[in-house]
Structure formats: structure tokens, C-alpha cells
Amino acid sequence: MGECDRHAFSEPTFEVIDTVVYMPTDLLGRTYQTFPAPAHLKEHGPASVIAMCNQKGGVGKTTSAINIAGALSQYGRRVLVVDFDPQGAATAGLGINGNTAQKTIYDALFQTHMDIHEAVVHTRFPHLDVIPANIDLSAAEIQLVTEMGRERILSTVLQPLVPEYDAIIIDCQPSLGLLTVNALTAASGVIIPVATEFFALRGVALLMDSIEKVRSRINASLQVYGVLPTMYTRTIHSEEVLQRIYEKFGDQVFHTVISRSIKLPDASVAAAPITFFAPEHKCAKEYREATREIIARGIVA
């Protein structure tokens, strides 16, 4: 396992700063609630494998993967982020240079006898590891076509790690190709970030169709864990799109809505989850709130 230097980020205290001041009206009639901070676990594993998935790019998918992973780690969960996007944004966002990593997820997919632990890199954030990706992964889509059991390769690769973590979060690329099918096959469930913008809603039906096909043909236990509204602004447009999200997905929509803020890209530049970078910021509180909801729903122990 590789390791990134640990420095600069201390554990925030959540008891005082975790009340979200404003949350948009829940059009399902649910009373907005602040979920309780979970107790730390005495034992770890097996992991819930979560695919963070949306075929539309720019909806906060990688941002959500990084920040939910960061918040889970701060609540004492052992978390592994699997960067499954050739752009390598999750890798960079956690402070790892994917181009200099000795092993990446691409190597793990095609080197049959490789120990997957060789690809795991410790980040500088306690309890938070990553399997990096780089542009090499873009070739995998073509190479997988000729592989035996091509849809199940990622599932097989990750299996030895499941007992060692409480959550494995797969950051999928924005497409519905073989890499995404592999992620859905490996996952126990899917979280779908959806930006509160009109074009972000287009194509989600195709993703749901793909999820249903994987469920019916490959992974019968695959669930939709929830739809996470992101990039919310207090505008009429955002409110209208949010209403459509509620109408489309009903109780599958998380109580928590993630706001748009320049602080999120600032955290990306700092290569840190916002829950570490700016723990008192509204978006940090929202991501912790979403994370507590994930734990309260039993998605992660």
C-alpha cells in the first residue's frame, strides 16, 4: 500500500456546528430532521459497496463521493474510494497523483494475479483510502469487451477488500458503458447525485433502465439507495427542478439537499473533503447531514 503524507487536518467537533440553517421545503411533506451523530463502531466490515453514479457529467458526483467518504471517515468508518473514472478526479481530490501511482484500478482489472492491496493508497485523512485511476483506465472499456465474465471483473477484484472496510464508494465515470456496468455489478446499491438544473434530469431515466437491467440479469440485490439533489440555489429554477426530482423519485430522494458554493471547488483545489477543509461551512454541514442520513437509513453501518 502506498501512503500520502498526513498533515494539516484535525478532527472537527460536530456537536455545535452541525445544524443546517436552511433547507428547501420538502415537497413530499416530510418534516426536515437533523439525523443524530452516529456512535463509532467497535468492529469494522463488511463494507457496503456504493456506486456513485450518473451518466450526466458535472452534477457533483465526484464531489459527493469525496465528501461523503470524508464525513464517513470522520464518523469513525473505514472508507475506501475506488476511482473508476479515467479523469482521475477523485484521486486528485484526495491529494494523490494518479500519474505517479505504482498501481491503479486499471492494473487491478487486468493483472490477474495482482494483490489488490498493492493498489490501495492511504490518504492523509484518517480511515480514508483510495484506489487511484488515471487516463490508462480509458483503454479498459475496449479491453473489457474480450474479457471472460467482463461485467463481474471489478466485483471480483474488490472482494478481498470488503471485510476490511465499512464503506467502499465507487466513483463512476459519466457514461453507461462497461465500466459503469462493472460498478453496478460490484455494488450493493447506487446513490444518484442530481443537480437541481433542468438538463441534469435528462437521461436519468436511461440510468434507471440500466440499473434495472443489471438487477434483472447480473446483480439481483442491487438497490437504489437514494437520489441526492446537488448544486441547489435559492432560485425559482432550482425550486422547480427540485419539485420535479421529488415527483419523479419520491421517498428515494434524500432529506438533505447540497447547495452550490465556491467553497466546494476551493476544497478540490486543496485536495481535501470540505468536511476537513472548511468544517463549519454550510456545504460541510450538508454533506455531514447526508452522511448521517446514509448511516441512519442503514446503507452504511
| Higher-confidence position of 112 and 24 | 112
How many domains does one find in the chain? 1
- Residue 40 predicted with pLDDT over 70: yes
Mean pLDDT of 256-277: 95
Residue 259 lies in a domain: yes
Residue 168 lies in a domain: yes
Query: In 3-state terms, what secondary structure has residue 214?
Result: helix
Mean pLDDT of 159-188: 95
Question: What does the pLDDT read at residue 9?
Answer: 60
Question: What does the pLDDT read at residue 36?
Answer: 84
C-alpha to C-alpha distance for 1 and 9, rounded to whole angstroms: 21
Number of H helices, E strands in the chain: 12, 8
Residue 189 lies in a domain: yes
Residue 226 lies in a domain: yes
- Residue 206 predicted with pLDDT over 90: no
pLDDT digits (tens, 9 = 90+) for 53-68: 998 888 999 999 999 9
Picking from 1, 279, 28, the residue whose alpha carbon sits closest to that of residue 121 is 1
Q: What is the mean pLDDT of the chain?
A: 90
C-alpha to C-alpha distance for 301 and 288, rounded to whole angstroms: 15
Could you tell me the CATH number of the domain that includes residue 147? 3.40.50.300
| Cis upstream peptide for 229 (omega within 30°) | no
Picking from 115, 119, 182, 113, the residue whose alpha carbon sits closest to that of residue 153 is 182
- Residue 292 predicted with pLDDT over 50: yes
194 in Cβ contact with 227 (< 8 Å): yes
Question: What does the pLDDT read at residue 16?
Answer: 40
Q: DSSP character for 32?
A: P
Phi, psi for 3 (deg, rounded to 5): -150, 140
Residue matched to cell numbers 441534469: 200
Listed range (104-113, 201-210, 242-251) with the worst mean pLDDT: 201-210
List, in order, residues 6 or more apart from 1 with CB less than 8 Å away: 117, 118, 120, 121, 122, 129
Picking from 166, 180, 205, the residue whose alpha carbon sits closest to that of residue 44 is 166
131 in Cβ contact with 96 (< 8 Å): no
Question: What does the pLDDT read at residue 18?
Answer: 65
Residue 12 lies in a domain: no
C-alpha to C-alpha distance for 130 and 116, rounded to whole angstroms: 12
Question: What does the pLDDT read at residue 284?
Answer: 95
pLDDT digits (tens, 9 = 90+) for 80-95: 999 999 999 999 999 9
| Higher-confidence position of 200 and 213 | 213
Question: What does the pLDDT read at residue 200?
Answer: 79
Question: What does the pLDDT read at residue 19?
Answer: 61
Picking from 36, 75, 44, 57, the residue whose alpha carbon sits closest to that of residue 273 is 75
Question: What does the pLDDT read at residue 57?
Answer: 85
Looking at the DSSP assignment, which residues form a beta bridge with residue 230?
Answer: 195
pLDDT bin (cut points 50, 70, 90) of residue 269 is very high
Residue 7 lies in a domain: no
Phi, psi for 280 (deg, rounded to 5): -95, -5
Residue 127 domain boundaries? 44-296
C-alpha to C-alpha distance for 191 and 6, rounded to whole angstroms: 29
pLDDT bin (cut points 50, 70, 90) of residue 22 is low
Residue 16 lies in a domain: no
Residue 181 lies in a domain: yes
- Residue 7 predicted with pLDDT over 50: no
Question: What does the pLDDT read at residue 1?
Answer: 54
